[in-house]
Amino acid sequence: MFSQQTHFRIKPLEFDLFCGMDVDKKSISVTFVSHDGFVKSFRIPYDSSNLIAYVRRRYPDKRIAFVYEAGPTGFGLYDDLVAAGYVCLVIAPTQLSRSAADRVKTNRLDSRKLAEDLRGGRFKGIHVPNRHYRDLRHLVHLREIVVRNQAATKVRIKLLLLLEGIRFPAMTAKERWSPAAFSSLYSLQTGSEIRFKLDQYLATLQFSKEQLQIINKELLRFCKEDPDLWHCLDLLCSIPGIGKVVSLYLLARIGDWRYLTSCRQIAHLLGLVPVEHSTGDRIRKGAISRMGDATTRSKLVESSWMAIRKDPELTDFYQRIKARNPDQFGGRKAIVAVARKLVLLKTV
């Protein structure tokens, strides 16, 4: 098992060659540059073993740093390069600057730009989660897909009834999708084709519910197998308003907390910090940045509504922020502020 890198920047003078890689699903465009300038550019099939073999054969005594943009190909290339003993940075696509006058974009040019910017020391690599946290992300992502499919199916059922002029079974908001509501939906008197379509929707919804139960059990089993992960889950659940589901989403998105240097990093990661355009003595702060994972941010805001019901201090904090913003968005601004405060509580 390779040891994960803990640094996110490089010191260019410590390396002889800088390799920029533009990766797609079939190939890697590779460019090597040195402190003296351009060295070589070529394209190889997407197989890290070919790249590693080439580097070891052509540059056995050179200190080489690699870089590529995070994307759909994941972190397999990073894993292999680090396991082979090389330094590799994975950067956010937003870090690669392009001139407005630059109208030509190719994989080869992008790889050269990556290599040159790496040589200039301007890149800050993202934190690459270890295999365990990546597996947790897969499970959490699968859960979210099932939850969204379930919600979409419920909407389709209501739209079908609305289209046919059939009133949805009279229930309270909490009972709308209860067993009694399902029983009423199964017994509705409609035309044969409408009945068939409704039955298929109900079967899909029932299947999604069973899937969700299986995935939830697998998530808990996965976390219990790792004592450190299970301990982190317990700590997060001790915070007012935070339950197991939100804790799992946070752990999957944040990863290993030991790589954090400041509690404010989580707020930045979840896009809960305000954007700012200040100059001179004038300070202008706007809405939250909304960077990072929108699903995790949304679930954290939902938890904040529960938190202000349970914790008097958070309730007072919510009321103060809301009173400070008397417009129609005051409550929304206040609950986002509570969510940011919960994030800071997690690492205090």
pTM, full prediction: 0.85
Q: What is the mean pLDDT of each run of 10 residues along the chain (348 residues)?
A: 56 94 93 92 92 94 94 92 94 79 83 93 89 93 96 94 86 78 87 92 94 96 93 90 92 85 81 82 82 89 92 92 86 91 67
If you compute the radius of gyration of the chain from its CA atoms, what whole number of angstroms results? 26
Instruction: Answer yes or no: are the C-beta atoms of 179 and 203 closer than 8 Å.
Output: no
Alpha helices in 8-75 (DSSP H): 48-58
Helices (H) and strands (E) in the chain, counts: 12, 7
pLDDT of residue 1: 33
Rounded to an integer, what distance in angstroms lies between the CA atom of residue 335 and that of residue 95? 31
Residue (of 90, 111, 93) closest to 7 by Cα position = 90
Rounded to an integer, what distance in angstroms lies between the CA atom of residue 300 and that of residue 192? 44
Rounded to an integer, what distance in angstroms lies between the CA atom of residue 211 and that of residue 250? 22
pLDDT of residue 279: 79
Domain parsing of the chain, residue ranges: 12-119, 131-225, 241-346
pLDDT of residue 246: 93
Rounded to an integer, what distance in angstroms lies between the CA atom of residue 67 and that of residue 44? 16
Rounded to an integer, what distance in angstroms lies between the CA atom of residue 124 and that of residue 45? 27
pLDDT of residue 4: 47
Q: Indicate the fold that domain 12-119 takes in CATH.
A: Nucleotidyltransferase; domain 5 (3.30.420)
Instruction: Answer yes or no: are the C-beta atoms of 18 and 12 closer than 8 Å.
Output: yes
The C-alpha angle 226, 221, 300, rounded to 5 degrees, equals 85
pLDDT of residue 191: 85
- Which amino acid does the sequence have at 4? Q
Instruction: Answer yes or no: are the C-beta atoms of 246 and 339 closer than 8 Å.
Output: no
